[in-house]
Amino acid sequence: MTAQQKTAEYNWAGNYRYGSDAIVFPESEAQLQAVAAGADSLQALGSRHSFNAIADTDGVQVSLARMPRKAAIDAAAATVTVDAGRTYGSLAVELAAQGWALANLASLPHISVAGAIATATHGSGDANTNLAAAVQGLRLVDAAGDVHQLSRAETPDFAGQVVGLGALGIATEVTLAIEPAFQVAQHVYLGIPWDGVLADYSAVTSRAYSVSLFTDWSGDAVGQAWFKQRPGDGRPTEFPASHLGGKAARESVHPVPGVPAVNCTTQLGAVGPWEDRLAHFRMDFLPSSGAEIQSEYLVAREHAVPAINALRALSGTITPLLQVSEIRSVAADDLWLSTAYGRDSVAFHFTWVRDQAAVESVVRVIEAALAPFAARPHWGKVFDAGASSLAPLYPRFADFKALALRMDPAGKFRNAFLQRSIFAE
């Protein structure tokens, strides 16, 4: 096991500097147990794709990057048990090689399995739940260094432990539901008028297995609409040259206008394997330089149209600071702190220019505008709401807080982010 003394460690985007003294790299679960038992304060550090202080601590950060790799498929159960620190992209390659698939991927395949799950990160699709909902089991090292094997079938409060925000322990293995490998074709349309989208929003998002709308919130049209078609799933197979008033892209595009599409997954309707289409970006490329900040809010699907109208009305405030915004669907789940807990949802994602003060100001405006729709912020992105505002949004919020206090009574995992977001009275 090695420890890295820290001078200036930042997240991927460069907008947040971690304040811990060192990063520890355990090379076995036993070493991780020893770290947890001996530390006064610690927190797991994943792929550094969070944009806030969720992974920070004034003690020791733990990276799972050097833990043994694992991808054990149980074909009878249709599950795979993997090391928690690996990326979804690397897992997708291993699954595909053996004829298996994940039901969905986030836009970035570069994120770690455990980090994505802990923050309820998601992909898109009216019938597709977030990534954490695929979890069937967890192996967790707690604050005392003890190991817990948790499962959906046998563990009480399992639904409270999956989206754990780093408050309950450090996952070393995750068991995920999988399915036989499938094909995907990605179709992109440009300039779809808002009037057509809002006239029948469900018809737009149900058109394909996964649908993403990209906009800067100005003007009368959506900039891009990405339809990820899964042939054979019963949806219409025809994607004509014109659709919903928009035109099919004649060359591959990047969601951010003017950025080359070389790092994006294959488009133009070419049918290919799921691992090369479900994410927006290719594993062998970074999607951008990282000079950005992200925010995201999820509202119940029934509020999609009025929420869109509320955001369009803020174009004068939002657009000047924005690189691009994405609208996606997420199906309901039963995980206590999932942003889609108990309700089919629509997610409004914002990729901002890297101006921290300006972003912090504009998210307060957005949160006020979306408050009538009980918008839940993504746990790993920049938001303003504290515990008093978040608690009413989650029916099991108090239960999660009690679970965290029971599993970590000394507060080893209780960093400033958790204090503000969960534990503050």
Q: What's the CATH code of the domain at 46?
A: 3.30.43.10
- Residue 3: its pLDDT value, please? 77
* E-strand stretches of 6-153: 22-25, 42-45, 60-63, 71-74, 79-83, 100-101, 135-141, 147-151
**Mean per-residue pLDDT for 171-195?**
98
306 and 162 in one domain?
Answer: no
pLDDT in tens, 358-397: 999 999 999 999 999 999 999 999 999 999 999 999 999 9
Q: Domains in the chain: how many in total?
A: 3
- With 80 as the cut, is the pLDDT of residue 168 above it? yes
229 and 354 in one domain?
Answer: yes
269 domain-assigned: yes
Report which DSSP code applies to 310: H
Partners of 148 in the β-ladder? 140
Quick one: 66 exposed, middle or buried, by C-beta within 10 A (0-12, 13-18, 19+)? middle
272 domain-assigned: yes
**Mean per-residue pLDDT for 276-282?**
95
414 domain-assigned: no
85 and 26 in one domain?
Answer: no
**136 phi and psi, to 5 degrees?**
-110, -15
Q: What's the CATH code of the domain at 275?
A: 3.30.70.2520
174 and 189 in one domain?
Answer: no
- With 80 as the cut, is the pLDDT of residue 5 above it? no
240 and 374 in one domain?
Answer: yes
- With 90 as the cut, is the pLDDT of residue 22 above it? no
- With 70 as the cut, is the pLDDT of residue 347 above it? yes
- Residue 288: its pLDDT value, please? 61
313 and 194 in one domain?
Answer: yes
241 and 154 in one domain?
Answer: no
- Residue 21: its pLDDT value, please? 77
276 and 160 in one domain?
Answer: no
Of 20 and 411, which is predicted with more confidence? Answer: 411
Domain boundary among 347, 366, 381: 381
Please give the mean pLDDT across all residues of the chain: 95
Nearest to 164 by CA among 197, 191, 198, 140: 140
| Torsion sign, CA atoms 53, 59, 63, 67 | negative
pLDDT band with cut points at 50, 70 and 90 for residue 182: very high
Q: Rounded to whole angstroms, how far apart are CA atoms 304 and 96?
A: 35
403 domain-assigned: no
**Mean per-residue pLDDT for 31-35?**
97
126 and 139 in one domain?
Answer: yes
Domain hosting residue 17, numbered range: 2-63
- With 90 as the cut, is the pLDDT of residue 157 above it? yes
Claim: this prediction has a pTM higher than 0.85:
yes
pLDDT in tens, 78-105: 999 999 999 999 999 999 999 999 999 9
- Residue 421: its pLDDT value, please? 98
Q: Rounded to whole angstroms, how far apart are CA atoms 224 and 188?
A: 7
The whole-angstrom distance between residue 69's C-alpha and the CA centroid of its chain comes to 22
412 domain-assigned: no
Cβ–Cβ < 8 Å for 51, 42: no
In angstroms, what CA-CA distances link 354 with 41, 123, 294, 350? 30, 23, 9, 12
225 and 211 in one domain?
Answer: yes
Residues in Cβ contact with 277 at an 8 Å cutoff, skipping those fewer than 6 apart: 184, 185, 186, 228, 265, 266
235 and 164 in one domain?
Answer: no
Q: What's the CATH code of the domain at 172?
A: 3.30.465.10
52 and 187 in one domain?
Answer: no
Is residue 141 classed as helix, strand or coil in its secondary structure? strand
